[in-house]
Amino acid sequence: MKIYFCGSIGGGRQDDEIYARLIEKLQTYGEVLTKHVGSKTVVQDEIDLTAKYIHDRDVRWLEESDVVVAEVTQISMGVGYELGRAAAMGMKILCLYRPSPDKRLSAMIAGAHNGTTFVVKNYTEEEAEQIFKDFLT
């Protein structure tokens, strides 16, 4: 299984360690094409890449993927774009959100939840493994 993992890069890197741990868990189910999202150095690593190159590469990976898993706690226009593209392609999507008083989930994400092909889950990190098992198997 090819998994496309989404997490904020340009919108803020506060959750990079969480992304890395989620990606590690996801790798037990298949190949995570976007494991760089969990890297502490992703911004520096991609500094010389053009926006066009990153866009085209990521869309190509999205098209190759079987499923999308997105961590949507940190607001990110890029993640929203990726989710919109994936939904338009009819892909199976899981969005994970950690509720907190200072963050609010976008209505466009929460409202897309249909329980089957577009699933939005409030979660804690401890629950992620079971959520992945339920969604991916």
Task: Supply 36's token pair.
Answer: 């760089």
Answer yes or no: is 20 a known binding residue. no
Answer yes or no: is 82 a known binding residue. yes
- Provide CB contacts within 8 A for 90, sequence distance 6+: 117
DSSP string, 44-104: HHTTTS-HHHHHHHHHHHHHH-SEEEEE-SS--HHHHHHHHHHHHTT-EEEEEE--BTTB-
Kindly give the pairing relationship between strand 31-32 and strand 118-122. unpaired
Answer yes or no: is 108 a known binding residue. yes
d(CA 56, CA 85): 13
d(CA 65, CA 32): 9
Q: Which residues are annotated as a binding site?
A: 19, 82, 106-108
Q: Which residues are annotated as a binding site for substrate?
A: 19, 82, 106-108
